[in-house]
Structure 1
Amino acid sequence: MERALDDLTVLDISTTPAGAWCSRLLADFGADVLVAEPPGGSPLRQLEPFDSDGKSVPAEYWLANKRSRVIDGDGAEGRGELVDLGRRAHVLVSSASPAQLQTLGLHYEDIGSARLVMVHVTPYGVVGPLAGQPANDLSVAARSGWASINGFASREPLKPSGWQASYCGGVAAFIAVLAALHEREITGLGQEIDVSTLDAMLAAYAPAFLRAQYTDEPLMRKESGDLLAGPVPVKDGYFALTLSRAQFWRDAMNLLELPDLAEDPRWEASWYRQAHKDEYIERVTAQMAKWKKSDLFDELAARRVVAGPVLTMEELSENEHLAGRGFWQETPGGKVFPGAPAKLSETPWEIRKGAPGPGEDKSETRWPTLLGRSPAPKSGRVGPLEGIQGIVLTQAWAGTFCTELLGFLGADIVQVEVRKRFDSWRGEASRPMGEKLDAIPTAQHPWNTHFLYNSVNLNKRCVTLDLQ
């Protein structure tokens, strides 16, 4: 089966979840990833929880689809092997500090491979006042501001659950590597990439920064949980109901047998609902509590209202939708893994094998020496994706953020909107405008000043069409 990254060779010397996730994504799409582990195994293998065989569950997930070789970087022979592998690899993934790379002889310029793409995935980057400082997901969540908006105001700040900072940094590194490989096809040259997990988390925090500038109201932790802050109790669990659009509001209120709320036009403005939430939240949550979460979801979905039941792990494993998509994948060793984050029609994602044991790969790595070629002129290129054009037909968060990233990398992106149905993240024209925006010509219309829309639509052009 042909895969998107077949023939790509990757040396992974990282020892962090972020670096491991970057190379795991490369492996899932076909790359041959060799993990160089120190004697005693990667530090990832010490992370809890452990399965019944004493193996780290996170490491078993992050190291899947890879080969493993134990290489002692403290000795001259091991350092020589690492440098040789680095010169032959297409991509080198590192989480080491500049001082550690100096010891290993693996600084980018020392490797001497003009076509190598080397990505550093570290908490604070390889340059800057904090470069080389150790950190984990907790400290990155604190420094990025994410902890300041998680939890309740009456309690301590909370980090996002799990390894979300590491996943964010790993995905950013994966994207950057793909962009650099595309650039190499044009120029013949590799490049060095510096990914800071802190930077990646801050980029995803952009709506908070714009909100503070546009409204003088920074995002804060909620005083308490309510319908607008997150899931609320229903008959058999918890349920999240999105009320961002007037249509969502009307249809949900009618379903919940609250016609007075559905028919009063004042409630159609999101800012009005936020300002007067005490007048309706108890009524709405009382009606929701009468429903089972699956029944409520089915009825709201039929009305095209965005909503979601909070599923338990058992419910996830038995979920009909995920099963219908073939999401869960069994490894040759019998473990069931989460499946593809993206389905490519011609070059699919694939779990080929589970995690190797430390040093399990004993075969000779026969990666050919990278062949050089005369580099093409680079003058005038605005980014690795220059020359790629994209049309955006999505709204709100995921699709617009995806294409904003493409725009940052040099692609020409055109956002398409429909006159009678502007992007919901533009907000309503009746929303009060921040005082700081009064003197800005483009801010004379509130639909140009919503912090959500403007946080995910940079580096794009926009066209508005009448499709009636």
Structure 2
Amino acid sequence: MLSHLKVIDLAVGLGDYTGRLLAELGAHVVRVEQRACAAEHAVDIAWNISKTRVTLDLESASGREQLLSMAADVDIVIRNAVDKPVDHAALERRNPRVVDVVVAPFDPAGPNAARPATDLTLMARSGLANIVGDPDRAPMTLPGEQAYALAGAHGVVAALTALHARAATGRGELVTISAFQAAVLANYREPVMWQFAQRIGKRTGNLLVRGKSGVRQVWRCRDGYVTWSFVDNPAMMRSLVKVMNEQGVKSLLDDIEWASTLIADSPRETVEAWERIVEEFFSRHTRNDLARWSVERGFGLSQIDGIDDVLASEQLRERSMWRTITDPRSGKALKIPGPLFVTSGSGRNAS
């Protein structure tokens, strides 16, 4: 798809994912690593797969000159600062058509430009961490480095948008991405709530708040967890009750007229009484059984897979979810996600 594009990736950590996504789309991405920092910044396999790696001493004048020579024949440069290891003007003199994408923690022209940041601090500062976790415990962050991933995805959109503009103007441009802003935009509800109502959202944990009440979303079953909730959908509710009846469970749920019951307006105490009945039922059955009944009867339940389930999934394997690579550090075979994009019907990488 993007096999005609050449990319130099100078990013370290933040911005790595921009190069990874472009590489998965078919671009030839060269990751330039500084010799002086090689030990400190070990290769992140997940985010730097599909890139060609070269080493340059960018602390030296000769190394920077080599970089500028390489940049004379590329479409995109990805880095973390507008002035390192060379400034945009130097890149532009060598290649007026280059799209220079800077993925930084904060707006390089803003008051926090020089402020250090990590994925954890970006998640906290953006407010994303504040809405993750149980309400009676401390905030939590999400698995992995989600703020970095969000910024990386924004970097791809920015790069491709600038390339589209270049097609019209014939010139490249400097594009800056704020990882902080990317994380804030992902947390769309809380900033909007504050802007228009001056309200700060609260963590709700395993409770999806609807109207005056709330409903549980994740449930323990006999061999793990499933996700389901009471919904204002009479057909789905009747389907679950019917399955429960067939499995020998008779309860007050049998007598509820779901077509005239609005769960969002039901008292939380009432919903909790209903949930205790469902909780007992789910706890006696396996994820597979519950999921199979849901598919057959349509009551909207999904099983939650663990890591081993995901790795062993025949469905994911048939859809090219995994690839096996050799760890350049240990020489061991590793199974990692990918390819990220597959062409329709071919089963091959979109590149």
Which residue matches 1:111?
A: 92
| Corresponding letter in the other structure for 1:174 | V
Match of 1:395 in 2: none
User: Which runs of no fewer than 5 residues in structure 2 stay unpaired?
Assistant: 209-213, 246-250, 328-332
For residue 227 of structure 2, what is the aligned residue in structure 1?
240
Q: Are the structure 2 counterparts of residues 245 and 341 from structure 1 closer, same or farther at C-alpha, using a change threshold of 3 Å?
A: farther
Matches within 5 A, 1:151-190: 151-190=133-172
Using structure 1 for the length normalisation, give the TM-score. 0.64
Find the aligned partners of 1:276 and 1:254 in 2 and give their Cα distance: 20
Contact preservation (8 Å) 1:15, 1:42:
no
Query: Bigger relative contact order, structure 1 or 2, given CA contacts below 8 A and separation 6+?
Result: 1
Which of the residues 4, 12, 29 maps onto 1:15? Answer: 12
CA distance, structure 2, for counterparts of residue 228 and residue 43 of structure 1: 49
Is the 2:219–2:225 Cα contact (8 Å) retained in structure 1? yes
Residue 211 of structure 2 aligns with which residue?
Answer: none
Letter in 1 for 2:349: E
Distance 1:231 1:106, change over 3 A: same
State whether residues 228 and 300 of structure 2, in contact with CA within 8 Å, keep that contact through their aligned partners in structure 1.
yes
Residues 326-345 of structure 1, C-alpha deviation per residue, up to 9 Å, x if partnerless? 32223377432212333333
State the identity %: 23
1: distance between equivalents of 2:266 and 2:283? 24
Name 1:307's counterpart in structure 2.
301
Q: Which amino acid aligns with 1:323?
A: R
Q: Partners in 2 of 1:24 and 1:39 — Cα distance?
A: 21
Give 1:119's aligned amino acid: V
Question: What is residue 72 of structure 1 aligned with on the other side?
Answer: 57
How far is the alpha carbon of 1:255 from its aligned partner? 3.1
| Deviation string, structure 1 residues 255-283 (Cα, Å, up to 9, x no partner) | 34464376333544445476853232212
The 3-state SS of whatever aligns with 2:159 is helix
1:37 corresponds to 2:33:
yes
Q: Deviations over 1:339-392 (max 9, x none)?
A: 23333338976399xxxxxxxxxxxxxxxxxxxxxxxxxxxxxxxxxxxxxxxx
Cα deviation 1:9-55 (Å, max 9, x = unaligned): 00011101x31111011111211111111114547744xxxxxxxxx
Cα distance change on mapping 1:131 and 1:331 into 2, 3 Å: same
- State the Cα deviation string for residues 195-216 of structure 1 (Å, max 9, x = none): 1111111111113334566777
**What's the counterpart of residue 82 of structure 1?**
67
Shift of 1:90: 0.3
Report if aligned partners of 2:71, 2:91 keep a CA contact under 8 Å in 1: no
CA distance in 2, matches of 1:346, 1:80: 45
Distance 1:23 1:320 in 2: 29
The structure with the greater share of residues assigned to strand is 2
Would the alpha carbon gap of residues 118 and 303 (structure 1) be closer, same or farther in structure 2, given more than 3 Å must change?
farther
Distance in 2, matches of 1:186 and 1:303, equals 54
Letter in 2 for 1:281: E
Residues paired across the two proteins, number:
333
Is the 2:33–2:54 Cα contact (8 Å) retained in structure 1?
yes
Q: 8 Å contact 1:9–1:91 — kept in the other structure?
A: yes
Q: Offset at 1:65?
A: 0.9
Paired with 1:305 and 1:231, the residues of 2 have a C-alpha distance of 15
Work out the CA distance in 1 between the residues paired with 2:242 and 2:197.
Answer: 32
Shift in CA distance, 266/194, structure 1 to aligned 2, threshold 3 Å: farther
Tell me the equivalent position of 1:345. Answer: 344
Aligned to 1:358: none
Within a 5 Å distance, the mapping from 1:443-454 to structure 2 comes to: none
| 1:123 CA drift (Å) | 1.4
CA pair 346-281 structure 1, distance change in 2 beyond 3 A: closer
3-state secondary structure, aligned to 2:7:
strand
Separation in 2 of the partners of 1:40 and 1:344? 40
Per-residue CA distance 1:206-255 (angstroms, 9 max, x = gap): 13334566777643113776994542210001111144552544433443
Q: Could you tell me which residue of structure 1 aligns to residue 77 of structure 2?
A: 92
Query: 1:39 corresponds to which letter in structure 2?
Result: R
Asked if the contact 1:234/1:291 (under 8 Å) is kept, the reply is yes
Per the alignment, in what secondary structure is the counterpart of residue 97 of structure 2? coil
Aligned counterpart, 1:410: none
Q: CA–CA distance in 1 between the matches of 2:347 and 2:168?
A: 25
